Amino acid sequence: MMDGVRTSATPELSDEAIEAARARRRANNVVDKRGSEELEATAVPSNHPWATSKNRLTPEEEAAKRAEVMRLNRTRRGQGAAEE
């Protein structure tokens, strides 16, 4: 099954190369964490497609929104318009 697959030999990495790669990843993770903090502090316009509301919904409002999404996502029967 794998007869037509070409393979190539990869060189073995030294312990120093592995440690250097780990150090680069650690440094990258620090930058990523700092970047996420800056992202949270960034103001996003309220009409942005991915904007989230800073005002938390009450459990009742959240249940109502969830029910509305479920209603809109129901499978439609036939070729007619969505059920209202």
| Residue 38 within any structural domain of the chain | yes
Residue 18: predicted pLDDT: 92
Full-prediction pTM beyond 0.75? Answer: no
Residue 43 lies in a domain: yes
Q: What is the pLDDT of residue 64?
A: 94
Q: Is residue 39 part of a domain?
A: yes
Cα distances (angstroms) measured from residue 38 to each of 33, 34, 41, 42: 9, 6, 5, 6
* pLDDT at residue 1 in the model: 67
Does 21 fall in a domain? yes
For the chain, list the strands marked E by DSSP.
none
Full residue range of the structural domain in which residue 45 is found: 17-50
| DSSP annotation of 10 | -
Number of domains comprising the chain? 1
In-domain check, residue 60: no
C-alpha distance from residue 33 to each of 29, 37, 39, 52, 83 (Å)? 6, 7, 10, 21, 46
DSSP symbol at 9: -
> Alpha carbon 58 to chain centroid distance?
25
Q: What pLDDT does residue 80 have?
A: 54
* pLDDT tens, N- to C-terminus, the chain (84 residues): 678 888 888 889 999 999 999 998 888 777 666 666 666 667 777 777 777 766 777 889 889 999 998 888 887 775 455 555
Say what the pLDDT of residue 78 is.
56
